[in-house]
Structure 1
């Protein structure tokens, strides 16, 4: 068994749980309704028990006992159905609100969060963990009030028979609470382990399923099958440990319940034999005692679930404690038309410094190529311009205006960025082209942009045109087609600055020429910055920056840079000869 999981020293935080609930916008009106119905059930149950006791005692008066008993029994069934419906609606609404809360938080977190955490494990945070928390609220948090009210009501009724009898019950009842407290602490670690193992399994399967082409091309089917079996075995072992804990709880609770029943019967019998209770009260006392035992046992089982769900609370709370990007802090971007100036820019990935005082000038209204060996910081430079990462030191300014003072939302609306991956979502061509736009272009505008990047013929060949599905992550498209659509989407944005990270790498020569012609036409007078890796793409640049080891080693027009940079001369020679 997983003994480290059984005997954890850290068992979660109540404070984090309640802080998280404060952010979740729970359906309070529905919760109040559920509590009111539960209180009504408790009162009806007391009356039903007393009339039932009278029947068992031989009192069969039609109007005094039988009809009231039938009335309260029927009323209990009706109210119970209403309570069940209300409970399920509350559970569904809490589940929905918690998922909204976590998802809203997730999309507002900075990129560093996703680099430090496996994004695919977020699936379990938003699904399994949220479900555990919503169940915990309905089965543990709210029953604190309903259980306490029902218990006080029944103890009050027993006290009306004889107060000493009530105290006898109070002494016997806590046995289950103590047992469940111990078992609950054990279950916390086990349930947390199960959730973590399942999250790792889900993330691994999702990643492999999305990269089946690599698995097939590398012939690693058997290796992946074995690795998958190992992860499944780890999840299985965690679940077996949980079964051992649950199995241990069953006989312990059964023995405790049997001892409780004996103590309850002996106490009641003693009062009945002395005449302190009549027969009806003795039967009612026993009925109340059994109900109290069942209520507390059920709640204690829920408490065990609560300790198990605290791992989910911790993981979701960790997400909620993360600092969001300040999207709306700062002034509006307005128009970004000046030079892009980088002054003393410092940036690191963890402990690895990439830029230590980088200085560069990117001229406005021109097409600037960034070249350099792998790892020199070309993509990172684009990411910093788009403010995807915060600077450790230094400034980036547009027309002398520090972009840190501009709101992130408006700045990114003014900057178009086509990344290496050419990301597309499952959906239609139209949905992918319009993604992120705050307007809805008509088909004529879509035609013009798609024609400019050389993809309009493909669209027109599709039976549904722009409403043609592209498959998951654009699976039905080639790499070059995905890149064309990504460039078209960026051009539809009509941004002041366009960033391109190897945005035409998957296209053929004619495709690259077509796309760059459209960029020159549609971005005329605006600033374009792109990463180049070949001589053909470099021909499109008005200005070139050479990055080596995190430093600009050359900058200027093509002729100037070819004279200054050995790397650039080598790059041009390898790809077809130097050219001025």
Structure 2
């Protein structure tokens, strides 16, 4: 006795639940969908009528009166025009539904991506996430719209033609049902080439991929500087543009088919009109076989289409499962309610432990640290010692497992996320810039309403005006994808200018001067020393010369703080900091 795998029984139910969820996106578009259904009915009726009209053709051939010639000509053109109307309504309105479903899915998926925790981006490559927004969503719409319209249109056509064939000759119909699949296979082979060519037609996907890729790869900057609404609006605009262009393409494709059909009908009608002329007609045999052959030939395409529906549905459901898996991901925990106007900047780490997901060992182990407001603290240590992880906990890119972190006596968990990140400015080694003007990159996200003078002042403090003013459009110069038109040092100075403009009470500099040459670094160091006054600053730097003037230096090893003190005191102690200092300067020499 055959046993059934539980997975096999649950899978169809899972697929059906997914498909029902997909159809929910069609519900608001019920009017357009109804118009598509009406178009399908018209198409099916016209297809059946084309075969039935062959009897009138035969009658006109047998009685070639002037009236029959005119009526038959009009009949042929009318049937094809009627079918063309159904084709247009079916294709355009189902495309309208499909493109709107795609638009809605993309908007919802992108909005969800803006709220997902850092670990999700660690686990998923940005290219794969962009693919969900582009290719996968297209596949999903195929299952919700095309599969439905094919089932309705071609299914009704088959029923109508089959009924007419049975009425004409049931014995020949039985024969046709045997050879029908062979006819469908031949038609399918001939149409595959056309389908491959038509699938190459792409809509305006470049902008969607570009904006999404920037937002996903730069998610930390987006969130730290409150750029969610800006990115949301920017993405909504490009997706809506894609919707408009796709509908134009859909209408063009929908109208081209019936126009060609009507043109062919006119040619056939002209040929029939000539055949019925007395001088051309001659001796011609008649019979119901012509009508039957017409019906059988017409049925080949809908048979092939209906047999392909299952594959379309399965492909769409598989894509939907992937898309919905992202939509169903849990967003960042944001249960805090504390929204301070501006914190003083007192920071305390109280027995903080942290490990990345699926790792057994802690990356940070019992970190206890108090940083008074306005103090500058430098973190040094070998790669992998936990410096960047420690500062990543402050804006809650990751949540610690044990202990607590407090700002002005309030736990980070008490802060609302946007309110917490509004208190922090961040400059990292991997600068994230957007394909926009220099001014828009400095005054990014929640800073977009800053005055032009404030933007110039921030650029001046970051020693960026010296290259900005040499550019053709100054602050209005578009810098290309991720600032491709700028050098590493120039890009870093723009990021510093952005942090200066934010004027947050807490400043995080993670290798902020790593991309600068010695001369630029000297200028930036002077600017940073000025801006660090009155702000709580955490500085990570491999080059120890850049952090010698910090109020306090923390040396980290294996996720723990092993030394703490001023530069001169740590050198005199001859411990881990002195060894790092000696090693670095001996390498320079």
Structure 1 and Structure 2 fold alike (TM over 0.5): yes
When residues 524 and 173 of structure 1 are mapped into structure 2, their CA distance, relative to the original with a 3 A threshold, is farther
State the partner residue of 1:319. Answer: 326
SS at match of 1:135: helix
Shift of 1:32: 3.0
> Which residue of 2 is the match for residue 382 of structure 1?
391
Work out whether residues 55 and 291 of structure 2, in 8 Å CA contact, stay in contact via their aligned partners in 1.
yes
For the structure 1 residues 20 and 518, does the alpha-carbon distance in structure 2 shift closer, same or farther, using more than 3 Å as the test? Answer: farther
Q: Map Cα deviations across residues 107-135 of structure 1 (whole Å, 9 max, x no partner).
A: 33222122222222334333333333333
Verify the 8 A CA contact 2:143 2:315 in the aligned structure 1.
no
C-alpha change, 1:13 and 1:394, in structure 2 (3 Å) is farther
1 CA distance for matches of 2:41 and 2:341? 59
Q: Which runs of 5 or more residues in structure 1 are unaligned?
A: 1-7, 180-201, 211-278
Residue 103 of structure 2 is aligned to residue 96 of structure 1: yes
- The residue that corresponds to 1:40 in the other structure is 42
Instruction: Give the drift of 1:489.
Output: 0.8
**2:61 aligned with 1:54, yes or no?**
no
Distance in 2 between the 1:553 and 1:26 partners? 61
Q: Deviations over 1:84-106 (max 9, x none)?
A: 33344444433333333333333
Please list, as runs of the form range in 1=range in 2, the aligned pairs for 1:44-443 lying within 5 A after superposition.
44-56=46-58, 62=68, 67-151=74-158, 161=167, 288=295, 291-292=298-299, 294-326=301-333, 330-349=337-356, 350-351=358-359, 352-443=361-452
User: Aligned equivalents of 2:537 and 2:27: distance in 1?
Assistant: 44
Query: How far apart are the structure 2 equivalents of 1:108 and 1:353?
Result: 26
Distance change >3 Å, CA 153–CA 357, structure 1 → 2: farther
1:152-190 deviation line (CA, Å, top 9, x unaligned): 55566678x5998999799879979x99xxxxxxxxxxx
Q: Does structure 1 retain, via aligned residues, the 8 Å contact 2:336–2:413?
A: no
Q: Deviations over 1:340-397 (max 9, x none)?
A: 1222322113314212332222222221111222211000111111111122232221
Any idea what the Cα deviations from partners look like across 1:13-41, whole Å, max 9, x if unmatched? 34334435546987544333322322232
Greater CA drift, 418-427 or 97-106: 97-106
Distance 2:409 2:565 in 1: 20
Which of the residues 485, 490, 495 maps onto 1:486? 495
Contact residue 35 and residue 89 of structure 2 kept, 8 A = no
Aligned twin of 2:252: none
Residue 293 of structure 1 and its aligned partner are, at CA, apart by 5.0
Residue 487 of structure 1: CA displacement? 0.7
Q: For 1:368, what is the secondary structure of its paired residue?
A: strand
Whole-Å separation in 1 of the counterparts to 2:153 and 2:414: 52
SS at match of 2:564: strand
* Structure 1 pair 404–343 and aligned structure 2 pair: CA distance change class (3 A): same
Provide, for residues 482-539 of structure 1, a one-character-per-residue CA deviation record: whole Å limited to 9, x for no partner.
1111111111122221111010122244433433433343453221111132332222
The aligned residue for residue 273 of structure 2 is none
1:301 aligns to what SS in structure 2?
helix
Counterpart selection for 1:445 from 449, 454, 458: 454
Distance 1:312 1:494 in 2: 44
TM-score by length of 2: 0.69
Measured after TM superposition, the shift of residue 559 of structure 1 is: 5.2
Aligned to 1:195: none
1:547 is matched with which residue? 556
For residues 225-281 of structure 1, give each alpha carbon's deviation from its aligned partner in whole angstroms, at most 9, with x where no partner exists.
xxxxxxxxxxxxxxxxxxxxxxxxxxxxxxxxxxxxxxxxxxxxxxxxxxxxxx998
- Which residue is 2:251 aligned to? none
1:416-458 CA-partner distances (Å, limit 9, x unpaired): 1111112223333223212223433233212211111111111
- Aligned to 1:469, what secondary structure does the other structure show? coil
CA–CA distance in structure 2, aligned partners of residues 435 and 532 of structure 1? 25
Match of 1:15 in 2: 17
Contact between 2:375 and 2:551, CA under 8 Å: does it hold in 1?
yes
Number of residue equivalences: 475
Worse-matched range after superposition: 117-126 or 491-500? 117-126
Aligned 8 A contact 1:418 1:500 in 2? yes
Task: Name the CA shift for 1:280/1:307 in 2 (closer, same or farther; >3 Å).
Answer: farther
Q: Is the 8 A contact 2:132 2:323 kept in 1?
A: yes
Flag the 1:359–1:128 CA change in 2: closer, same or farther, 3 A.
same
Once residues 22 and 506 of structure 2 are traced to their aligned partners in structure 1, the CA distance between those partners, rounded to angstroms, is: 40
Q: 1:313 to 1:563 in 2, by over 3 A?
A: same
Are 1:534 and 1:571, in contact at CA under 8 Å, matched by a contact in 2?
Answer: no
Q: Distance in 2 between matches of 1:24 and 1:536?
A: 62
- Secondary structure of 1:420 counterpart: coil
The separation in 2 between residues aligned to 1:401 and 1:25, in whole angstroms, is 46
Q: Does 1:499 align with 2:508?
A: yes
